[in-house]
Amino acid sequence: MKKIVIVGAGASGVYLSILLKQKLSNTDVIVVEQNAVSLKKVLASGNGRCNLSNRYITQECYHSDNNELVGKIVKSFDMLKEMDKLGLHCLYQGQLLYPKSEQALSVKQIFMHRAEELGVCFLYNQEVLSIEYHQSYIVHTNQQQIHADVLIWAMGSEAGKLSGINQSRYDVFKKLHLKVVPPQPSLVQMYTKPVIKQWKGVRIKGTFSLLEDGQCIHTEKGELLFTDYGISGIAVMQLSAFYQQGHDYQLEIDFFDEEDEKNLTEYIELRSNKGYNHFYDGLLHSKIASYFEKMSNQSVSHIVHQLKHFRLNVAGLRSYETAQVMKGGLSLKEVDENLSIKKYPHMYAIGEILNVAGLCGGYNLHFALASAYQVAKAIEREDHVTNT
Ligand SMILES: Cc1cc2nc3c(=O)[nH]c(=O)nc-3n(C[C@H](O)[C@H](O)[C@H](O)COP(=O)(O)OP(=O)(O)OC[C@H]3O[C@@H](n4cnc5c(N)ncnc54)[C@H](O)[C@@H]3O)c2cc1C
């Protein structure tokens, strides 16, 4: 009987195991997982609600070394329809797709029920350390050797510390002479210099820009949270995706994005002409207002400039432990349009182990499952050719 081994029981690996068992008869599908359980990251995703996809999916929502390929893969996958086939009813909330139950647990339960009903074999507490190729593959784990006719890498990333922080996921590729783009955290909080301690815990709405050498490289409208190390919040997570190590960045905050500078100047002049001493009251959070009050003897134009273009130096990104994804991973230059690894036969890679990182908003789970779907179709075609 043909044996397919999938390394990693995350969203991409488990979904692929289901598709393969549905499509192929006479095939053993084995999922090898280093953790004691499957789908740890799925359970944590979307704050326990699991944001599976987004209405607006294009290649621009991803960072990778072949965005055209990523665009084709994500566009050809209909998450709503495919989840429905598994029995997972999903609904859009605005742009974002969630399970109807709004529980990531439902995703885990439905995936694991379908996989077990179809007879997928899960081997837990087994870390894959290396492989050998002699016509077919021998997979070496920390406990045993497993024979495989087809091998799929679905090892995810260390982001969030939920899928292990082992180096083996990258070492296996090095041993196979496959290019790995160095991983770095993405969708993560930022350290700032200075940290304005008195703003800790304050959440603001506004427009936030990431400046590289004084030039704006990306802008996000949304929410930001001041913390004891710097800044957090969805807008910050999105901006972090544009950060590259070794470059200098500043964050620019527009506290009054609903007003242009002219209107804001007139408004502040009016308040100061009326003789109001505390003219920030009610305009800004009290902790931010008291910070700006210290500048109240400055000119109106200077104050307006501070409110529209307040800058903090970005001192770096927080680590993989608090990141949602990692940029980097196995280079897309190593795979063809079916995510088949060009240098080795019957070997594929899916999900976050690839050098593909999406923005916040369901893009990463969408890619994880869309890439599994793409590979399932390719293996089915391969199987059909061998059997005829
Ligand atoms: C806190 C958090 C919240 C998130 N929220 C969202 C969200 O709402 N929407 C969204 O789209 N994305 C979200 N993401 C990102 C998304 O969850 C991941 O991109 C996606 O789950 C990746 O799936 P994967 O199968 O590629 O990898 P993973 O889920 O990382 O799974 C890989 C598996 O491989 C195993 N493994 C690794 N190396 C080996 C080895 N050598 N041997 C055996 N097993 C190995 C790991 O233990 C792991 O179980 C979130 C991530 C985090 C951390």
What's the whole-model pTM score? 0.93
- Residues 70-86 have a mean pLDDT of 98
Q: Where are the alpha helices (DSSP H) in 76-137?
A: 79-86, 104-118
Q: What is d(CA 315, CA 252) in angstroms, rounded to the nearest whole number?
A: 14
DSSP state of 173: H
* Average pLDDT over the chain, rounded to an integer: 93
Q: Mean pLDDT, to the nearest integer, of 141-162?
A: 94
Q: Report the residue among 124, 180, 318, 365 best suited for mutation to probe ligand 1: largest number of ligand atoms under 8 A from its CB.
A: 365
As assigned by CATH, the class of the 2-186+323-387 domain is alpha beta
Ligand 1 touching residue 5 (CB < 6 A): no
CA of 187 to the centre of ligand 1 (A): 14
Residue ranges per domain, the chain?
Answer: 2-186+323-387, 190-317
Q: Is residue 159 within 6 Å of ligand 1 at its C-beta?
A: yes
pLDDT, greater one: 162 or 64: 64
Atom of ligand 1 nearest to the CA of 50: 8
Q: Is 44 in the pocket of ligand 1 (CB under 6 A)?
A: yes
Residue 146 belongs to what H/E stretch? strand 145-148
Q: Kindly report, residue by residue over 205-236, the tens digit of the pLDDT.
A: 999 999 999 999 999 999 999 999 999 999 99
The residues that bridge with 233 in the sheet, in sequence order, are none
Q: Does the pLDDT of residue 273 top 90, yes or no?
A: no
Backbone angles phi, psi at 58, to 5 degrees: -140, 170
Could you tell me the distance, in angstroms and rounded to a whole number, from the CA of residue 372 to the centre of ligand 1? 13
